[in-house]
Structure 1
């Protein structure tokens, strides 16, 4: 009888132990499910030296038009936007690898990029322009013949110059970002910089007597947001959020904050 009682006791302990393991597994699963809230995060690849679209302020905080616009879209989608500074030369590779979910920082739509990413509808117009120092005697593109011209490597500025007759007439210096390109221009190491009009006008608003623009425009263009090929679900979700920001006036509000006017394409 004692043996039977002992066997029943042992079996009961085994059952309790198994139940405990099952409970632990259930807790782990529940924890995993609650952790899946992180799946709501969207990693946004940016160039953090691309004012006024996305850049670091005096407190080293990432700010800009695209930053505010992305956050507003995230709120509309019920998703958290996480901004990841990347090497802009590797932006499409970063997207393809899954390290980022979006390319969103003054990203120009062009035919080559359309073969690599999915694009939202255009949301801003821009042009590639040529900036020189205000004191420069360069007044037109032909004045740059034989001179050194700076630009951001693997950028729309580089594409615009490549498609221009000017390319064969100048020496080109490539930089990791526009800040370095403009720094060399100010130091007299280059005669001009090919750059986004939206970007240089921001710097001109801060440094009123430093730069001027040549009248000739190299390339008109439009900005869009890049999504990984095959991820139409995210593309459609994002586009619906952007459309709603246009309807409710939030996009215009953000544009006025950064540009002083509503520049967002409807």
Structure 2
């Protein structure tokens, strides 16, 4: 999200956290280094437009690797979570304002983001890739300079990669509110290519093989890592997440979830 690339002063009481599930969630003045309450509910912000990490099912329920993994962490760590779906460009502000406690939205860990938030240990590795029409081949990202319009999701790491290559104000960069919107524009011929996270693009290709697009991996884009984001001073939540992630990996649950969403992705 690319690529998108990730918690907080805790609530003074569990009642505040539960109240926050229905609306505005206020940050607590309690010491952020205190041990999280057993059974405490945390509001987790996400953006359900980034399958297979987070999306909305036919019944309106949130689904995806991040959703299932966060639920597994909550079970292993003895805490509870409730998800809040909202636009990508407002997630980090909501985190810092105390409206949400964590962000689980395929957030790439970057040095710039570390200035304003803290990240869990990495839980997924991706790279930026280029989606182009069938028959179009690229050997390097430099060839994007020869195209008229490159689609990206605003503020995600695909946007950052395009800016690095073409310049932040380049008219060649066509920005969209989400990856699905950028992909729709590619399908209609409005852009020549889309730059986004490898797992997301691979998922699109796997589920839309009849549309004639294919993913190109180029050596120019480095590996990136996703992490769960918390407010910068929320050491207790960070410690809790990392401990739970370690348990989920050790139990084999992480591998099961990974196979469910990615084993057949090419």
Which TM-score applies when normalising by structure 2? 0.79
1:160-195: CA deviation from partner (whole Å, max 9, x where unpaired):
122225878761111110000000000000000011
Q: CA deviation at 1:238?
A: 1.1
User: Residue 93 of structure 1 corresponds to which residue in structure 2?
Assistant: 93
Q: Which has the larger radius of gyration?
A: 1
User: Residue 9 of structure 1 corresponds to which residue in structure 2?
Assistant: none
Q: Check conservation: 2:130, 2:194, Cα contact below 8 A.
A: yes
Number of residues paired by the alignment? 228
- Look up the SS of the partner of 1:174 in the other structure: strand
Q: Check conservation: 1:129, 1:219, Cα contact below 8 A.
A: no
Q: CA deviation at 1:92?
A: 1.6
Q: CA deviation at 1:246?
A: 0.7
User: Residue 179 of structure 2 corresponds to which residue in structure 1?
Assistant: 178
Correspondence 1:245 to 2:244: no
Q: CA deviation at 1:100?
A: 0.8
Q: Check conservation: 1:65, 1:254, Cα contact below 8 A.
A: yes
- Look up the SS of the partner of 2:113 in the other structure: helix
Aligned pair partner of 2:233 in 227, 230, 233: 230
Q: Check conservation: 2:163, 2:170, Cα contact below 8 A.
A: no
Q: CA deviation at 1:78?
A: 2.1
User: Residue 51 of structure 2 corresponds to which residue in structure 1?
Assistant: 51
Gaps of 5+ in 2: 1-12, 19-38
Q: Check conservation: 1:148, 1:191, Cα contact below 8 A.
A: yes
- Look up the SS of the partner of 2:107 in the other structure: strand
Q: CA deviation at 1:215?
A: 3.5
1:133–1:57 distance in 2 versus 1, CA, 3 Å: farther
Which TM-score applies when normalising by structure 1? 0.79
1:159–1:34 distance in 2 versus 1, CA, 3 Å: closer
1:167–1:99 distance in 2 versus 1, CA, 3 Å: closer
User: Residue 21 of structure 2 corresponds to which residue in structure 1?
Assistant: none
Comparing 195-204 with 158-167, greater Cα deviation is found at: 158-167
Q: Check conservation: 1:160, 1:219, Cα contact below 8 A.
A: no
Alignment of 1:1-266 (within 5 A): 35=15, 38=18, 40-135=40-135, 137-140=136-139, 141=141, 142=143, 144-164=145-165, 171-209=172-210, 210-217=212-219, 218-260=221-263
1:32-59: CA deviation from partner (whole Å, max 9, x where unpaired):
x895783811111111111000001222
Gaps of 5+ in 1: 1-32, 262-266
Q: Check conservation: 1:153, 1:176, Cα contact below 8 A.
A: yes
Structure possessing the higher relative contact order (Cα contacts under 8 Å, 6 or more residues apart): 2
Separation (CA, whole Å) in 1 of partners of 2:170 and 2:91: 29
